[in-house]
A and B are shown apart, each in its own frame.
Chain A
Amino acid sequence: MKIVERLTKIDRRIIYLVLAIVVLIPLISRSPERVRVMPPVEKLYNAVDTIPKDKVLIIDFGYAPQDMPELEPMGFALLRHAFEKRIKVLALCLYVQPLGLAQKALTEVTEEFNSVAQSNTDSIIYGRDYVFLGWQPPPLIPMLGMGISITNVYPADYYGNKTDTLSLMKDVKNYNDVALLVSLSAGSIPRHWVAYAQNRFGVAVAAGVTAVSAADFYQYYQTGQFTGLMTGMKGAAEYEELVETRLNIKKSRKASEALPSLTYGHLVMIAFIIIGNIGYFVQRKRRQK
């Protein structure tokens, strides 16, 4: 019984240490895991894959540093998919914090492609293949404004170039030229894209969300308001899996590399909860006696 009592009074720093070790060791010793792709992610992949040549993909980079481990792999996988299929991309941010991360993702993926490009046609050129529109608060303005005119909402891009001088923007006026909008967000922004942009202008919306808010978003997937849905690190790993197996793009897969650690982290959490409950029930029984 003393053991049970000890088990219910473990110091929090021991718990921290156990969790840290259990998550750390697989990162060093295990290789990336393959994952089974679930229908919501597959649907999103197919929606991006079938974007016509005369339409663009809008990616709303809505993740801040605290959401990076879950949403950054989604952003990278989406960009690799789009650039490989030569789908034109408009990137934007609805808040200031994600700007640097969006810039990082666009720069790094562009560099991945350009480092192996043989000619100008193969390369990813800013202004021709993608445009980074930047930040225009409040969120309602781009959500509604892009239904009328994208260049009116963003007269200048992130780098200060006039958007109506960029070659990509000559063929893209508003949502009518947008095949799909993917919102990578840690908050409730994807549902606002649905409520404002999709509701009023009919643009297709998909989302990549953190696991914390995932449970809230399945209802929009069920109604068809979301064309597809990626949830958390697992969702990111599934999209990475599809990009690697279907497009043969073999690059670093941050989310898949993290899955072994995630596995043991979950098992340790379950173990802690069970231990806590065992102690609780034993003590409750003793009190009842």
Chain B
Amino acid sequence: MSISLSPWIWISALLSLAVFSFLYKDNPFYRFAEHLFIGVANGYAVTFYYHNILVPTLFDPLFRQGKLLYIIPFIIGILYFTRFIPRISWLVRIPIGITIGYYVGASIPATTQAFIIKQIQGTVLTSTNFQAWNAGSWGIVWSVIVFIGVFCSLSYFYFSKEHKGVLGVTSRIGILFVMIGFGAAFGYTVMARISLLIGRLQFLLGDWLGIIQ
């Protein structure tokens, strides 16, 4: 066991223990650590926001390279601050409208292609999909299961008609597939959360106390 002599490792370790103390109950050490975290996180963001974005994107082109056209987006960006002036606060809708408009416009073809068309292509019963499993003739069985599962899961979320008769049967099958998906997600979530704990313990036992080599 060789305890670290680095002051920063000690600071990191004590801050970690301050956060862990919340498990017993809320206390001033935890609150201190929480507020310190938000302060430093935002200070870090400001640093890179200035050096990596403001300077190369706005200040350099506008003030050093003389690209005066950048005045236009500069003024539109300033309109964000009209939010704090009630008389002209409606002007904030201009930069928001430009940003939202472009984003939702760009998302329509992207979503259609990647999340709908490609997913349907991966679901339909074609020889390409059978072979993609690399499982020989079992590939046909897996593809049929996926096809039935997708169709039935979609039918479960169709609420415009009562779930009776054929729709009732397919939606019952659909919910089973959804439950399997959620069970798989929960199993993986357990791994994720325990991994986070292991990561912290690796630091405390390894870097700080030197128990793990």
Hey, which bits of chain A sit against chain B, CB under 8 A?
13, 16, 19-20, 23-24, 27-28, 39, 66, 68-70, 96-97, 99-100, 134-137, 140, 144, 155-156, 158, 160, 191-192, 194-196, 198-200, 210-212, 214-216, 219, 222-225, 231-234, 254, 257-258, 261-262, 265-266, 269
> Can you list 22 pairs linking A and B with CB atoms under 8 Å apart?
A13-B24, A16-B23, A19-B197, A20-B197, A96-B44, A99-B48, A134-B48, A136-B52, A137-B53, A140-B103, A158-B52, A191-B115, A195-B110, A199-B109, A212-B188, A215-B188, A222-B146, A223-B121, A232-B191, A233-B192, A262-B198, A266-B191
Q: Does B72 contact A (CB under 8 A)?
A: no
Using known A-B contacts A13-B23, A198-B114, determine if residue A258 contacts B198 with beta carbons closer than 8 Å.
yes
- In the bound assembly, the distance between CA atoms of A232 and B191 in angstroms comes to 7
Question: When the two chains form their complex, are residues A265 and B197 in contact, meaning their CB atoms are under 8 A apart?
Answer: yes
Q: Does B119 contact A (CB under 8 A)?
A: yes
Question: When the two chains form their complex, are residues B132 and A224 in contact, meaning their CB atoms are under 8 A apart?
Answer: yes
Distance in angstroms from B23 CB to nearest chain A CB is 5
Q: Interface residues of B, CB < 8 Å — how many?
A: 50
Partner of B198, one of A134, A196, A261: A261
Interface residues of B in 103-127 (CB under 8 A from A): 103, 106-107, 109-111, 113-115, 118-119, 121-122
Question: When the two chains form their complex, are residues B191 and A262 in contact, meaning their CB atoms are under 8 A apart?
Answer: yes
Q: Does B11 contact A (CB under 8 A)?
A: no
Using known A-B contacts A68-B199, A191-B114, A258-B202, determine if residue A219 contacts B119 with beta carbons closer than 8 Å.
yes
- In the bound assembly, the distance between CA atoms of A232 and B200 in angstroms comes to 16
Question: When the two chains form their complex, are residues B188 and A28 in contact, meaning their CB atoms are under 8 A apart?
Answer: no
Question: When the two chains form their complex, are residues B51 and A160 in contact, meaning their CB atoms are under 8 A apart?
Answer: yes
Instruction: Please name all residues of chain B whose beta carbon is closer than 8 Å to the beta carbon of A224 when the two chains form the complex.
Output: 122, 132
Distance in angstroms from A209 CB to nearest chain B CB is 10
B109, closest chain A residue (CB): A199
Instruction: Please name all residues of chain B whose beta carbon is closer than 8 Å to the beta carbon of A70 when the two chains form the complex.
Output: 192, 195-196, 199
Question: When the two chains form their complex, are residues A134 and B52 in contact, meaning their CB atoms are under 8 A apart?
Answer: yes
Instruction: Please name all residues of chain B whose beta carbon is closer than 8 Å to the beta carbon of A215 when the two chains form the complex.
Output: 181, 184-185, 188
Question: When the two chains form their complex, are residues B189 and A211 in contact, meaning their CB atoms are under 8 A apart?
Answer: yes
Question: When the two chains form their complex, are residues A212 and B192 in contact, meaning their CB atoms are under 8 A apart?
Answer: yes
Distance in angstroms from B116 CB to nearest chain A CB is 11
Distance in angstroms from A15 CB to nearest chain B CB is 10
Question: When the two chains form their complex, are residues B188 and A211 in contact, meaning their CB atoms are under 8 A apart?
Answer: yes
Instruction: Please name all residues of chain B whose beta carbon is closer than 8 Å to the beta carbon of A219 when the two chains form the complex.
Output: 119, 122
Instruction: Please name all residues of chain A whose beta carbon is closer than 8 Å to the beta carbon of B106 when the two chains form the complex.
Output: 140, 144, 196
Q: Does B69 contact A (CB under 8 A)?
A: no
Instruction: Please name all residues of chain B whose beta carbon is closer than 8 Å to the beta carbon of A266 when the two chains form the complex.
Output: 190-191, 194
Distance in angstroms from A139 CB to nearest chain B CB is 10
- In the bound assembly, the distance between CA atoms of A269 and B211 in angstroms comes to 26
Using known A-B contacts A27-B212, A158-B52, A222-B122, determine if residue A265 contacts B202 with beta carbons closer than 8 Å.
no
Partner of A223, one of B53, B110, B119, B205: B119
Max chain A Cβ within 10 angstroms of own Cβ: one of B23, B109, B195, B199? B195
Q: Does B56 contact A (CB under 8 A)?
A: yes
Question: When the two chains form their complex, are residues B23 and A135 in contact, meaning their CB atoms are under 8 A apart?
Answer: no
- In the bound assembly, the distance between CA atoms of A100 and B185 in angstroms comes to 29
Using known A-B contacts A96-B49, A156-B56, A232-B192, determine if residue A265 contacts B198 with beta carbons closer than 8 Å.
yes
- In the bound assembly, the distance between CA atoms of A210 and B56 in angstroms comes to 33
Instruction: Please name all residues of chain A whose beta carbon is closer than 8 Å to the beta carbon of B38 when the two chains form the complex.
Output: none
Question: When the two chains form their complex, are residues A265 and B196 in contact, meaning their CB atoms are under 8 A apart?
Answer: no
Distance in angstroms from B178 CB to nearest chain A CB is 11
Instruction: Please name all residues of chain B whose beta carbon is closer than 8 Å to the beta carbon of A214 when the two chains form the complex.
Output: 185, 188
Distance in angstroms from B63 CB to nearest chain A CB is 15
Instruction: Please name all residues of chain A whose beta carbon is closer than 8 Å to the beta carbon of B122 when the two chains form the complex.
Output: 219, 222-224
Distance in angstroms from B192 CB to nearest chain A CB is 4
Distance in angstroms from A148 CB to nearest chain B CB is 14
- In the bound assembly, the distance between CA atoms of A218 and B48 in angstroms comes to 34
Interface residues of B in 1-48 (CB under 8 A from A): 23-24, 41, 44-45, 48
Question: When the two chains form their complex, are residues B52 and A23 in contact, meaning their CB atoms are under 8 A apart?
Answer: no
- In the bound assembly, the distance between CA atoms of A196 and B36 in angstroms comes to 37
Partner of A225, one of B24, B118, B146, B194: B118
Instruction: Please name all residues of chain A whose beta carbon is closer than 8 Å to the beta carbon of B189 when the two chains form the complex.
Output: 211-212
- In the bound assembly, the distance between CA atoms of A56 and B78 in angstroms comes to 39
Besides the known contacts A214-B188, A261-B198, 12 further A-B residue pairs in the complex with CB atoms under 8 A apart = A13-B24, A27-B205, A134-B48, A136-B52, A136-B53, A155-B60, A156-B56, A160-B51, A219-B119, A262-B191, A262-B198, A266-B194
